[in-house]
Amino acid sequence: MTITKKPCPMCGSKMVYIDENGAIVKKKKTALAENLRQILSDEGITVAMLAEWSGVSVGTIRGWLYYDRVAKKHSPNLKRVADVLRVGVEELRGRKAPEVEG
């Protein structure tokens, strides 16, 4: 199935994802967006609060949450957010952290 991003055929003002049959499809949010949204909701933390506590801009955090932006592999911003939320970076990304043998 081929999906392309095009202006909405109904309103023309926003971009939507359209399949090869011309039907609008909902794009699945990234694991980072889903995990971050869940943690913020569970803890009662707003984007503004997280931005203030972590030193990461509101725009960057909103990009992860709402615009399917993905943090780079060794993003210092994502590390600061993870530290504030007391979770691992890999947990935020939706990946299992590597096992540490002791």
- CATH code for the domain in which residue 76 is found: 1.10.260.40
Greatest extent of the chain over all pairs of C-alpha atoms, in Å: 58
Determine phi and psi for 12, rounding to 5 degrees. Answer: 75, -10
- Each residue's pLDDT tens digit, 17-55: 777 777 777 666 788 888 999 999 999 999 999 999 999
Structure tokens at 100: 């540490």
User: Considering the entire predicted model, what is its pTM?
Assistant: 0.67
Number of structural domains in the chain: 1
Q: Is residue 12 part of a domain?
A: no
Q: Is residue 62 part of a domain?
A: yes
Q: Is residue 21 part of a domain?
A: no
Structural domain for 74, as ranges: 31-93
Q: Is residue 70 part of a domain?
A: yes
- Provide the mean pLDDT of the chain: 82
Under DSSP, the state recorded for 6 is: E
Q: Is residue 4 part of a domain?
A: no
Q: Is residue 22 part of a domain?
A: no
**Distance (Å, whole) CA 34 – CA 77:** 17
Place of tokens 């939507």: 16
